Amino acid sequence: MSNLSLIYDYSKEELREILQEWDEPAYRVEQLWRGLYQSLWNNPDQFTVFPKSLRYRLSEQFAFESIFPQRETFADRGQTRKVLFQTQQGNPIETVLMQAGERHTLCISSQSGCGMGCVFCATGKMGFLANLTSGQIIEQVLYFVRLTRSENQTLSNIVVMGMGEPFHNFEQTLRALDRLNDPSGFCFGERRFTISTVGIVPMIREFARLRRQINLAISLHAADNELRSQLVPINRKYPIETLIEACRDYVKLTNRRISFEWVLIENLNDSFEQAQRLGSLLKGFLCHVNLIPLNPTPGYAGKAPSKKRILEFKKVLEQHHIPCTVRIPRGISIHAGCGQLAVFHQEQFH
C-alpha cells in the first residue's frame, strides 16, 4: 500500500507552495494544474513539459491514483455504465454514468457505505465504512471524463447521489467540487452539480450560508414523521417540520429552487393521502419533486407501485401546482439504480 499523498487532495495554492519550496519557476504550477484537470494526465511521465528531475520528484512525493476499478457493467443498451472501485484500504466505491440523449449525468459517491440506514437502500444496509477524501471524489469524475472523451462525448451534470451522505463528509465534498469548478482547471460550472442529502439540518443551513450555485436535493420519501422515521431513521433527529423550515430558509437565502426526492413504494408512501400531505407541505415552495419508482433491494420486500398509481400521485402534486417528474428507472439489471449501489459486491472486500 502506497503511503504517498494523493495529488488530487491538494488545492492549486497548496501545490504552488510545494513547487516554490522545490525552487521551481512559478509557471510550473499552471502546467501541473492544466495537466491534471485539462489534459487529465494521471501519471508523472505524461508531464513531458517537465524536466525528468521534476517528474521523478512528483512520482516520489505524490500518488496519482488511489481508487482502482475492479468491475465494469452495462445496462440500458450501453446507456448506463457502472464501475466498482476499490480503495487501497479495500473499501468499495461505486460510480454510475447515465446517458439520456445528448446528456451524460455522472452519479458519484462521497463515502464508502453509508450510516443513514434508510430501509430501502442497499448502501444503507452496508453501514458506514469510510469517508472519501476530496481527491478520491475527484478521481471518480476524472476516470469517467477520460472515458467519455475517448468516445467524443461530454459530461453534462455531476450528482453527488451515489454511496454515502455528502453532508456527513461536507468539507471534503465541497473541496472536491471547488476544485472541479476551478476556471483555470476542469472548469465545470457550479450549476451543473447537485448534492443530495437525506436531511442533515445543520449542514443544510451551513450550505445555505455559503450561497453556492450548486443544486440541492433532499431525500424526503414521506410527508409525516411517523412514516418518514420508519423509512429514514435520521428523521427522528431532524423531523419534517425542522427539515422543511431549513429548506424554506435555504430558498429564501439563496433564491434557488430545491429538489425533493421521493422513492415511491407500493402501499406505503404512494397513497392519495400522502400525495395530498406532500402537496400541502410544499405549498408555495420554489421546488421540484422527483418521483422515483422503488428499485429492488435485497432484504427489503417493498416494490414499485403500478404506473397508474404513480401517475395518480403525480396528478395530485400537479393539482397543488408543484412541478414534478417521474424518473425513469435506469441500471436495474446491473444494480446501478437509485438505492442499489455496492451491497452485491461487499462480500468480496470483507
Asked whether the predicted pLDDT for residue 38 surpasses 50, the reply is yes
Which residues lie across from 295 on neighbouring strands?
Answer: none
φ, ψ dihedrals at 201, nearest 5°: -55, -50
Asked whether the predicted pLDDT for residue 178 surpasses 90, the reply is yes
CA atoms within 13 A on the CB side of 152: 0
C-alpha dist (Å) from residue 280 to 224, 232, 311, 335: 11, 20, 18, 34
φ, ψ dihedrals at 339, nearest 5°: 85, 0
pLDDT band, very low/low/confident/very high, at 350 (cuts 50, 70, 90): very low
Query: Catalytic pick from 118, 121, 247, 338?
Result: 338
Per-residue pLDDT tens for 206-247?
Answer: 999 999 999 999 999 999 999 999 999 999 999 999 999 999
**Strands 80-87, 92-100: pairing kind:** antiparallel
Domain boundaries, the chain: 5-63, 67-348
Global confidence as pTM: 0.93
Domains 5-63 and 67-348 fall in the same CATH topology: no
Per-residue pLDDT tens for 258-272?
Answer: 999 999 999 999 999
Q: Which of 214, 220, 192, 194 is nearest to 291 (CA)?
A: 220
Which cell numbers in the block locate residue 271? 397513497
Asked whether the predicted pLDDT for residue 53 surpasses 60, the reply is yes
φ, ψ dihedrals at 215, nearest 5°: -75, 150
Q: Which of 81, 217, 67 is nearest to 142 (CA)?
A: 67
Exposed / middle / buried, residue 286 (Cβ in 10 Å: 0-12, 13-18, 19+): middle
**Residue given cell 439504480 in the structure block:** 337
What is the rounded distance in angstroms from the CA atom of residue 84 to the CA atom of residue 2? 20
Q: Which of 287, 195, 210 is nearest to 247 (CA)?
A: 287
Q: Which of 126, 102, 105, 99 is nearest to 114 (CA)?
A: 126
C-alpha dist (Å) from residue 298 to 72, 119, 122: 21, 11, 7
CATH, domain range 67-348: 3.20.20.70
What 3-state DSSP class applies to 225? helix
Give the mean model confidence (pLDDT) for residues 160-180: 97
Query: Catalytic pick from 94, 139, 165, 261?
Result: 94
**Active-site residue 338, yes or no?**
yes
Minimum mean pLDDT range among 80-94, 191-205, 264-278, 287-301: 287-301
Specify the CATH number for 5-63; select among 1.20.1530.20, 1.10.150.530, 1.10.10.10, 3.40.50.620.
1.10.150.530
Per-residue pLDDT tens for 1-34?
Answer: 578 999 999 999 999 999 999 999 999 999 999 9
